Amino acid sequence: MKSNSRSASSVGSASILLIFTVLCLISFATLTLVNSRADYNLSKDLADRQLAYYEACHKGNAFVAAVNSGYDCNSGQAIHEESIPITDTQSLDITIMSNSAKKTFNSDNSCSIIQWQVVNHSDSEYDYTLPVAK
């Protein structure tokens, strides 16, 4: 009687193919996890940056309202300046000019905003290089 047995090469190739497939799935899952963690960190940093910027804008609006209402301590000056820190290296610089001599028709504003700008105070240049192994 003849026996129908499989050859050893067909069983070995199926095992190798299965091991290769599992290793590919593990490597892709690891890459996905690393990429999603990097995206989360970037999104968190951007959210913190936006929160700090809008807090500085809120303080800037309060400064403009104070100057416009006449509550500023230097109300005798024609130009009012304020620098509101956003981060350690950036600030929101605001410059306002008083318009007490030329009030416009139907306007309660007694000042004009000359400058509302984010200023970098760091002397270092940005590093645009990519960390790629040679």
State how many domains the chain has: 1
Residue 41 within any structural domain of the chain: yes
Structural domain containing residue 65: 13-120
Residue 85 within any structural domain of the chain: yes
Q: Over the Cα atoms of the chain, what is R_g? A: 32
Give the mean pLDDT of 85-98.
91
Length of the chain: 134
Residue 64 or 101, more confident? 64
Residue 64 within any structural domain of the chain: yes
Kindly tell me if the per-residue pLDDT of 105 is higher than 80: no
Give the mean pLDDT of 36-40.
96
pTM beyond cutoff 0.75:
no
Task: Give the pair of three-digit tokens for residue 28.
Answer: 């892709």
Kindly tell me if the per-residue pLDDT of 113 is higher than 60: yes
Sheet of strand 79-85, all strands in order from the earlier edge strand to the far edge: 79-85, 90-98, 111-120
Give the mean pLDDT of 66-88.
79
Residue 134 within any structural domain of the chain: no
Residue 132 within any structural domain of the chain: no
89, 121 Cβ separation under 8 angstroms: yes
**Average per-residue pLDDT for the chain:** 83
